[in-house]
Amino acid sequence: MITITINDTVMHFETAPGLFSPRGLDAGTRVMLEHIAFQPQDKVLDLGCGYGVVGIYAAKQIGAEQVTMIDINPSAVSAASHNAKINHLPELRILQSDGFRALDDTGYTLILSNPPYNSNFSTAKHFIEKGFNRLQIGGRMVMVTKRKTWYQNKLAAIFGGVTIHEENGYYLFIAEKRKPTYANKA
């Protein structure tokens, strides 16, 4: 069991080998969560939830009914469900999905992700392009990575702009959906 505290919110997690950052909170995830101000009306998607830190933290800020968590890995979904119960959020919605493939919901105000790194950026491309379509106008996609250029270019092409904050070797990207179509249509 590990204990994680973010902005005075204390949470407990059981993890396992094979899950992302099983020994403690990833530094990039901490950067992301310490810079997000949740609003009571937010509808949040934790995209690639792992064992549940981001979604559980969001649910503790704005309520479990406002948060959905998804991950492709069945072990991660199981761990996140267990951790939701440990943190007194048994009603938290957690689904197994390969990106957005098993999730039809739209109207999110906030999509949060620390995307998996792969050399061809296929997962990140899916997250950004399909995530845009799941946000309401004014909604924001927030991603944290160790790579800058590709994410900056892709988010700017889809959203029309992106704000970047650099901290501890991580880049925090915040892109707001301002119109219903991609900024740079293919």
pLDDT digits (tens, 9 = 90+) for 23-63: 888 889 999 999 999 999 999 999 999 999 999 999 999 99
Average pLDDT score, the chain: 92
pLDDT at 118 over 80: no
Dihedral angle computed from the Cα positions of residues 175, 179, 184 and 186, in that order, rounded to the nearest 10 degrees: 120
pLDDT for residue 76 is more than 60: yes
pLDDT band at 78 (very low <50, low <70, confident <90, very high): very high
The pLDDT of 152-180, averaged and rounded, is 94
Rounded to a whole number of angstroms, the CA Rg of the chain reads 15
pLDDT at 99: 86
Continuous segment of H or E residues that includes residue 69: strand 67-71
**pTM (predicted TM-score):** 0.92
Q: In this structure, are residues 76 and 25 in contact, taking their beta carbons and an 8 Å threshold?
A: no
CA distances (Å), 167 to each of 25, 172, 173, in order? 16, 8, 11
Q: Is the pLDDT of residue 185 over 70?
A: no
User: In the structure encoding, which two tokens stand for residue 16, read together?
Assistant: 């396992």
Q: Is the pLDDT of residue 132 over 60?
A: yes
Question: Looking at residue 36, what is its pLDDT?
Answer: 93
